[in-house]
Amino acid sequence: MHKLDVEYARSQFPALKTGFIYGDNAGYSRGSQTVLNVADRIYEYLLNTNAQLGADYSVSAESTRRVMEEAPEVARKLFNAESPDEIVFGASSTINLENLARGMDNDIQAGDEFILTGEHEANAGPWKRLAIRRGAIVKYWTPTPSNPNNPYSVTYKVEELLPLITSKTRILAFAACSNILGTILPIKEIVQAARTAAKEKGAKKLEISVDCVAYAPHRQIDVRDWDVNFCVFSLYKVYGPHISVLYVRMSSLLESVTAITHHFLKVHEKSYKLQPGGPGYELVYGITGVLPYLLSLTPEHNLQASFDAIAAHEQTLVEPVLAFLTSPKQIERGVRIVGEEKAGLTRVPTISFVVVGEKATKSSDIVKVFDKKGGIGIRFGHFYAYSLIDRLEPKIDVDDGVVRISLVHYNTAEEVERVIGVLKEALE
């Protein structure tokens, strides 16, 4: 496996030249920094092919090729989907999943059961609203502690999911990686176990929705190997423009989804049936700059090799932060990791913690030290995983939430040292 050339990676992001440390890369509305190749393509599209799609004149034909052929094919590769016709573009993952749920109104019956996690509301809220509209029942797969000495060390366990599955289970929706907990779930194992249990219990139709927003910057997605029906991630978390892509398996697109577009459009066998109004064309084309960047990270020009190199480098970021926060001194201080406490390849560098006990400290007060110091951006809060934070025991203030440090492959060991230095000051 080739080692990631971090200096090369950083050279592709003009924003990093300022020396500011971006430690909020999982941020909801913006996410990671944008690679230069993406910005160049958006700029070039707007200047040279900014025309309505579908006309016969040359500029429209080129615009159509870029938006309707080139971009969906790139997204197909990022998902490892079967066909670009399974790709839906939307302004955000929240909008994409809301449109999907709206498109499934006619296929959900009263009494159907949905199993949800309390992760980012994007992959929970749409299903909850669909359940209300159609009289379905919502159940929750809740995480439990892995360390008896830390009640916040919660993770999702497959054995705690299976008893929730019945003959009426219709939807299972979970995150491949939590934007709070940072643990990568064994997606294929979960899906296989859930499908087996559903079949044994006589469920007529189980469709599975996986939120990969916090997963996609760190690991390769493979919807076919996982055997999922729906999968979503945001390109603005993966070095691209502010747009999201949703995968909908063709069988689900044909059998479960009704078009939510204008009634006269002939889109019954196309993913466009879930794109009312259409997304921003320049942003759709801009995603075509993400794949070349990822492929350029290793000599193999292979996605798996690139993500292997990313994962290996990111462990050098995770390990020192977790080592500091779980040291005896910090445990005595009251620091508690929210999520998995140990580094490893099932852990991404999204690290959340709270400070409790006799010297309890607000998450917002810790972040204020960083803001006052300057040069480093981290945040506090619930990060739209409101239900997850709200269910933690002992209770914490859901609005104050957790302190979250979210790193990606373009962060360096030197930057991590600076982050730890300010953490020491904040926790004195």
Q: Could you tell me the end-to-end alpha-carbon distance of the chain, in angstroms, rounded to an integer?
A: 40
Same domain, 267 and 388: no
DSSP 240: S
Q: What is the pLDDT of residue 29?
A: 57
Last residue of a domain, one of 265, 293, 321: 293
Same domain, 207 and 353: no
Same domain, 271 and 361: no
Last residue of a domain, one of 242, 269, 293: 293
Q: What is the pLDDT of residue 269?
A: 62
Residue 36 is assigned to a structural domain of this protein: no
Secondary structure of 373-404 as H, E, C letters: HCCEECEEECCCCHHHHHCCCCCCCCCCEEEE
Assess contact for 107 and 258: CB atoms under 8 A.
Answer: yes
Q: What is the pLDDT of residue 157?
A: 97
Q: How many domains does the chain have?
A: 2
Residue 114 is assigned to a structural domain of this protein: yes
Vertex 287, ends 283 and 288: CA angle to 5°?
Answer: 125
0.75 exceeded by pTM? yes
Residue 244 is assigned to a structural domain of this protein: yes
Contacts (Cβ under 8 Å, ≥6 apart) of 20:
375, 376, 377
Same domain, 195 and 305: no
Residue 166 is assigned to a structural domain of this protein: yes
Q: How many CA atoms lie within 13 A of 254 on its CB side?
A: 5
Same domain, 178 and 236: yes
Q: What is the pLDDT of residue 28?
A: 59
Residue 117 is assigned to a structural domain of this protein: yes
Same domain, 71 and 186: yes
Q: What is the maximal distance between C-alpha atoms in the chain?
A: 71
Same domain, 269 and 374: no
Q: Mean pLDDT, 10 residues at a time, over the chain (428 residues)? A: 92 96 80 94 97 95 96 98 96 96 98 94 96 98 96 97 98 97 97 98 98 97 98 96 97 95 74 88 97 96 96 97 98 97 94 97 98 97 95 96 97 98 97
Domain that holds residue 63: 45-293
Q: What is the pLDDT of residue 267?
A: 62
Same domain, 331 and 267: no
Q: What is the pLDDT of residue 268?
A: 58
**CATH code at 73?**
3.40.640.10
Residue from 378, 372, 364 nearest 420 by CA: 378
Phi-psi domain of 325 (left: phi exceeds 0; alpha: psi -120 through 50; beta: other): alpha
Residue 283 is assigned to a structural domain of this protein: yes
Assess contact for 351 and 44: CB atoms under 8 A.
Answer: no
Same domain, 289 and 308: no
Last residue of a domain, one of 245, 275, 293: 293
**CATH code at 22?**
3.90.1150.10
CA distances from 387 to 119, 179, 261, 289, 384 (A): 7, 13, 32, 35, 8
Q: Which stretches does DSSP call E strand in 205-345?
A: 207-211, 230-234, 244-248, 335-337
Q: What is the pLDDT of residue 272?
A: 86
Same domain, 52 and 153: yes
Assess contact for 314 and 412: CB atoms under 8 A.
Answer: no
CA distances from 311 to 1, 143, 284, 306 (A): 11, 24, 27, 9
Q: What is the pLDDT of residue 26?
A: 81
Same domain, 122 and 262: yes
Residue 38 is assigned to a structural domain of this protein: no
Q: What is the pLDDT of residue 72?
A: 97
Residue 57 is assigned to a structural domain of this protein: yes
Same domain, 27 and 134: no
